[in-house]
A and B are shown apart, each in its own frame.
Chain A
Amino acid sequence: MKRSVRTGLLYLALVALYLLHNDLWLWNDPGLVLGLPAGLAYHVGFCIATSIVLTLLVLHAWPSHLDREAGTTREETR
Chain B
Amino acid sequence: MTLAVIIGYLLVVLVIGLFSHRFFRGTSEDFFVAARTLGPFILLISLFGANMTAFALLGSSGEAYMEGIGVFALMASSSGLVIPVVFYFIGTRIWALGKRRGYLTPVQFFRERWGSDNLGLLLFVVQVGLLIPYLLIGVMGGGSTLTQVTGGQVPDWVGGLVISAVVLTYVTYGGMRGTVWVNVFQTVILLALGFIAFWVIIDKLGGLSAAMARLAETHPDMLVRGDHIKPLQLLTYTCIPLSVGMFPHMFIHWLTAKNAASFRPVIAFYPVCIAIVWVPSVLLGVLAHLDFPGLNAGAAGSVLVKMISLHAPGLLAGLLAAGVFAAIMNSFDSQVHAVGTMFTQDIVRHYGFHDRMGEKTQILVGRLFMVGILIATYVLSRFVDRSIFKLGVWCFTGFAALFPVVVAAVFWKRSTKWGAFASTVSVIVLWIWFVSQGWKTGSTTIGESGVMPVAVMLLVSTAAMIVGSLATRPPEAATLDKFFPKAER
Contact = CB atoms under 8 A, between A and B. Distances in A.
A22 B234 contact: yes
A29 B224 contact: yes
21 contacts: A18-B81, A21-B77, A30-B220, A32-B216, A35-B209, A36-B208, A39-B69, A46-B73, A48-B271, A51-B270, A54-B85, A54-B270, A55-B268, A57-B267, A58-B88, A58-B263, A63-B93, A67-B96, A67-B259, A75-B100, A77-B102
Given A30-B224, A58-B267, A74-B101, 14 more contacts: A30-B223, A32-B216, A39-B70, A47-B80, A51-B269, A51-B272, A62-B261, A65-B485, A65-B487, A67-B260, A70-B97, A70-B99, A75-B100, A77-B101
B62 to A, nearest CB: 17
A70 B272 contact: no
Interface in A55-78: 55, 57-58, 62-67, 69-70, 72, 74-78
A67 B97 CA distance: 10
A72 B97 CA distance: 10
Contacts of B482: 75
A17 B112 CA distance: 36
A40 B398 CA distance: 29
Interface string A16-41: 01100111100111101001110110
Interface in B114-157: none
Chain B contact-residue range equals: 35 or more
B355 A24 contact: no
Interface stretch (B164-172, B187-195, B274-282, B415-423): B274-282
Nearest to A46: B77
B81 A48 contact: no
Contacts of A74: 99-102
A69 B69 CA distance: 45
Given A21-B77, A57-B267, A69 B96 contact: yes
A63 B267 contact: no
Interface in B73-117: 73, 76-78, 80-81, 84-85, 88, 92-93, 95-97, 99-102, 112
A43 interface: yes
Interface residues of A, number: 42
B28 to A, nearest CB: 11
B267 to A, nearest CB: 5
Contacts of A22: 231, 234-235
A62 B231 contact: no
Contacts of B373: none
Nearest to B286: A37
Contacts of B212: 32, 35-37
B96 A70 contact: yes
B65 interface: no
Contacts of A9: none
Given A37-B69, A58-B267, A78 B223 contact: no
B483 to A, nearest CB: 10
A35 to B, nearest CB: 5
Contacts of B208: 35-36
Given A17-B81, A74-B99, A30 B216 contact: yes
Among A57, A76, A78, chain B packs the most CB atoms within 10 A around the CB of A78
B178 to A, nearest CB: 25
B264 interface: yes
B488 interface: yes
Contacts of B261: 62, 67
Given A24-B231, A47-B272, A70-B259, A39 B73 contact: yes
B224 A27 contact: yes
A66 B93 contact: yes
Contacts of A75: 100-101, 482
